[in-house]
Structure 1
Amino acid sequence: MKLPPGDPLGTHRVIEPAGALPQPAERLDNDLSKHYASEIIVDVRTLNIDAASFRQMEEASGGDLDGVATLVMATVQRRGKQHNPVTGSGGMLLGVVDTVGDLAAHRGFVPGDQVATLISLSLTPLWLDRITAVRPASAQLDVVGKAAVFLSAPLARMPGDMPERLALALLDVAGAVPQVARMCGPGDTVVVLGAGGKSGMLCAAEARRRVGREGRVFGVENFAEYAAELSSLAICDQVFVLDARNPLAVKEAISHVTNGGGADLVLSCVNAPGVELAAILAARDRGKVYYFAMSTSFTAAALGAEGMGRDVDLYIGNGYAHDHAEHTLSLVRSHQGLRDIMTRRYA
């Protein structure tokens, strides 16, 4: 029997509201016994939850990991996707290709391929039978379920030279690294807020590659252990153990090391709200501020810059960039110290 084609953007899975695209939709059809010729169906093994979303669910559950699992199951049952109603973010998944529709065959995936989605769970139709483990160190959940991948959705085969949990963690934030490469160059001064975390450390490493030794990279990290690990890599000229939610403390520290000039580029990678103004104050006049964390309030950033009279360019982090998966994996492969830290944390 010929399958219905389905829309490449996935609108055929939208239940409500009518006319919405899958990401902003309130509810998706996650009945994956329905097959469409443009979809790839994946047997899901692991959900890599967005850091801001996992932190919110941990706090809402009082640190109870069973509570996190309950919240995820409830969200998926209600919305047909893992789209956190508080943070608005999702994550991504690891699984094995089950079926490939005829219209998706040209993508080159076949049943049995181990893959990771490079798009958000907030737009991925997802069915969960059960959650078997919650892993707070990596914000990952082991699950049994299925997902549908639309024709327009990037998908990657898992690399064979690193543990799958490590690769999944890296692919979750892979969009940041090539965008950092686009935004800074030789001799620039770069500041990374949340520099000891997953995306922050990757961004700091890429910034160092791009600015060279004539440029400068400064890290701001609130967690002392992460700050020490970052310092050990020697990719930052200095690492400040500061809470980025304190904008005046950040401003003072960065002003001191830049002779009051500020940074050419500030990267905000903190998975908590309230760091928008610190990022703006750390930038020089006509500098660039890149918000990668999904906890960012873009209203606070825009109105804060206006209210402080700061003429800076504000960039919204995009989880996708051309060839971003290979770019990020290659960065980690090229830096053994970085790879060792990431392996200890996430593998």
Structure 2
Amino acid sequence: MVCKKGHHYGLHRVIEPAGVLPQPAWKLDPTPEVYDNECLIRVECLNIDSASFAQLKKEAVNDPDRIARQIMSIVSERGKMHNPLTGSGGILIGTVAEVGSRFPSAGAQPGKKIATLVSLTLTPLTIEKIRQVHLDTGQIDVDGQAVLFASCPFAILPGDIPEKAVLSVLDVCGAPAQTARLVKPQHRVVVLGAGGKSGLLSLYQAWKTAGRQGQVIAIEENGEACEEILSLNIAHDVICLDATNSLAVYEAVDKATKGALADLTINCVNVPDTELSAILATREGGVVYFFSMAVSFAKAALGAEGAGKDVQMMIGNGYAPGHASLALESLRECGDLFQVIVRRYG
């Protein structure tokens, strides 16, 4: 059989509106037949991104059956897992079923188990059955099929880390990679939402670089997560605080840094209304890295303007060269962090 020729960025899969790329498109064609530049995957598990899953859980009142119906409805309507309220998706793991003739091989042979490193918001997806919704991790066991474009990175699953733990870490691997780029040895670094997986991985990277000469401050609302951070010894200060309380965050960071504030603030919170907390915690001329998908660009931009704060604001790009390897290597380097992630997600 001769495969049809597909567009490098997947425009051939866009149904509505015509002419846009798959991520902003409203609806994709998820037909499980590969074009020449595609890879077909038998999907086993979806890792719904934290902001999206928090919204789905709240709307469904923590009922896994209702969450399953919500996800089935979104995927059947849009041809992808693209939460219309949060605008976010997640990633998946599955087994390669078929590879088009122009798909860059890089190890994606049929039978190989891989994790996608691009959002479900641009991944054509069909779900035949949802087998289980894991309320504590945001992972969904499914029977389904997905399509990966030639432009999309992926990772072959390693054999030394449990699959579900790998999936959880790879979903947020852009955060520690960008943190590693941004942190300098003398920096004062604040991580908001430090107890989640992106927060913990970012804390670890900040500690590796700034742990000796700088200051690393973890802010987390959940008391148990704060205890875990303390046990990991990857922060100078662990502050149990609601990150939506902007004034309280500012006062806590101001006190911890003796008025200097943060050189770099990393926002990993999975709920809305933390933009000003990150901005106020950061010194004039400092950097705010918004990794969270719950962040509003308008609130951040206009909030900084209203507060008269001159800070550089970065949107969290989920991709950076080597980001998957760096995140997995963090678990191998730090046995205690490995245990926390495996206990939660593995």
Q: What TM-score results when the alignment is normalised by the length of structure 1? A: 0.99
1:201 Cα deviation (Å)? 0.7
Matches within 5 A, 1:101-180: 101-180=100-179
1:207 Cα deviation (Å)? 0.2
1:197 equivalent in structure 2: 196
Amino acid at match of 1:3: C
Rounded to whole Å, the distance in 2 between the matches of 1:250 and 1:146 is 44
Amino acid at match of 1:17: P
Partner of 1:103, secondary structure, is coil
> Deviations for 1:201-250, whole angstroms, at most 9, x for unmatched residues?
11011000011311110000000000110111111111000000000000
Amino acid at match of 2:241: L
Distance 1:24 1:215, change over 3 A: same
Rounded to whole Å, the distance in 2 between the matches of 1:313 and 1:113 is 42
Amino acid at match of 2:25: A
1:13 equivalent in structure 2: 13
1:249 equivalent in structure 2: 248
Matches within 5 A, 1:325-336: 325-336=324-335
1:31 equivalent in structure 2: 31
2:301 equivalent in structure 1: 302
Percentage of pairs with the same residue: 49
1:55 counterpart = 2:54: yes
Rounded to whole Å, the distance in 1 between the matches of 2:258 and 2:34 is 61
1:49 Cα deviation (Å)? 0.2
2:279 equivalent in structure 1: 280
Rounded to whole Å, the distance in 1 between the matches of 2:231 and 2:80 is 39
Amino acid at match of 1:301: A
Instruction: Return 5+ residue gaps in structure 2 as ranges.
Output: none
Rounded to whole Å, the distance in 1 between the matches of 2:23 and 2:106 is 22
**Number of equivalent positions:** 346
1:106 Cα deviation (Å)? 3.5
Distance 1:218 1:101, change over 3 A: same
1:221 equivalent in structure 2: 220
C-alpha root-mean-square deviation of aligned residues, in Å?
Answer: 0.8
1:35 Cα deviation (Å)? 2.4
1:314 equivalent in structure 2: 313
> Deviations for 1:235-270, whole angstroms, at most 9, x for unmatched residues?
111100000000000000100111211100000000
Partner of 1:107, secondary structure, is coil
Matches within 5 A, 1:179-190: 179-190=178-189
Does the Cα contact within 8 Å between 2:60 and 2:66 map onto a contact in 1?
yes
Rounded to whole Å, the distance in 1 between the matches of 2:239 and 2:144 is 42
1:86 counterpart = 2:63: no
Partner of 1:295, secondary structure, is coil
Amino acid at match of 2:247: L
Partner of 1:62, secondary structure, is coil
Rounded to whole Å, the distance in 1 between the matches of 2:325 and 2:106 is 17
Runs of 4+ off more than 2 Å = 105-108
1:324 equivalent in structure 2: 323
Rounded to whole Å, the distance in 2 between the matches of 1:150 and 1:247 is 41
1:305 Cα deviation (Å)? 0.4
Amino acid at match of 1:70: R
Instruction: Return 5+ residue gaps in structure 1 as ranges.
Output: none
- Segment of structure 1 superposing worse, 87-96 or 210-219: 210-219
1:105 Cα deviation (Å)? 4.8
Partner of 2:103, secondary structure, is helix
> Deviations for 1:282-316, whole angstroms, at most 9, x for unmatched residues?
00110000000100011100100011000000000
Distance 1:105 1:248, change over 3 A: closer
1:108 Cα deviation (Å)? 3.1
Amino acid at match of 2:108: F
> Deviations for 1:103-151, whole angstroms, at most 9, x for unmatched residues?
0154331000000000000000000001000001110000000000000
